[in-house]
Amino acid sequence: MAGTQTRRQAAMAAAAERQQAQNENGNAHVASGDDGVAEVEGEKENIFIFLPNLIGYLRIVLAIVSLYYMPLHPRTCSGLYSISCLLDALDGYAARYFEQSTKFGAVLDMVTDRCSTSCLLVFLSSAFPRWIIVFQLLISLDLASHYVHIYATLAMGGSDTSHKSVDASRSWLLNLYYTNRNVLFAFCALNELFFIALYLLSFSSPMLSPGLLQTVPKTAAAEIHSGGQVNSSLLRQIFTNPYSAGALEMARANKMDSFWPWVLCIISSPVMAMKQFINVVQLVKASKWLAEGDIKDRRAKGLPRKKKTA
């Protein structure tokens, strides 16, 4: 009887050790290296070739190709850029479905989003030079808001805390924005749609850019086709707006109908404005969170020190 109890105790102890090992190391993780490759139950898995990350690489390629077509081919550029944005939802679904959510993937996704939007806004700055300060402020707000939010999450919440884990007590708006996938997708998609529509309008709307849409005089066009020497006076006839770039001006030959770009722009504009408001809220809340941490650190160090009185 005593021998049976001893064996049972030994078996229970062994089971407890196995459970503790799983809790400490995870169900599958055994060893990992500095190259992003981990050995899992005798097999190696490479974080960099996870399906969500492969989709992320494809998004980058599509975005770069869309930038190549951006100055001259609005339809091709818009199609490629839109596909790159839509794949943003697919990589998140793949990460959850295949249990391949990683910190590298989250960073790749956010960096791709920020860079793609910034590149499009840079182009819009050249297409609408009178509004360049607005686009500069939008780029700055987008980058600053997300950077401060990420830094505050890591510094205050810990390295294992996702930037999407926003407590409702801190901000119900950010909690709704990040925890509801439908809300997040709608805001991101319509925000990008507004800038895409504005990009298309730069090729189609004389109301927004009348100087850039002027027709090249027939005499100037004939001189170009005949192989005549292009002098400074001819260039001034072609590029009538001093703020325009040559490639952007020549692209006006590829004009488009402005009806649908206007429709898309009007529909998406309220969501775009709300998205910028969310960026402001995110920046303010993250800054306050960091300030709270600074106060705690200063109190722990005994700061501010009381000055000695004479």
How long is the chain?
310
Chain position carrying tokens 């898309």:
264
**Known active-site residue 113:** yes
Residue type, 77: C
Edge-to-edge strand ranges of the sheet holding 29-32? 29-32, 37-40, 43-46
Which residue bears the tokens 């926003």? 166
CA-CA distance, 270 to 276, in Å (whole number)? 10
Query: Which of 88, 91, 113, 142 is flagged as catalytic?
Result: 113
Tokens read off for 226: 């005949």
Give the residue numbers annotated as catalytic, written as ranges. Answer: 113
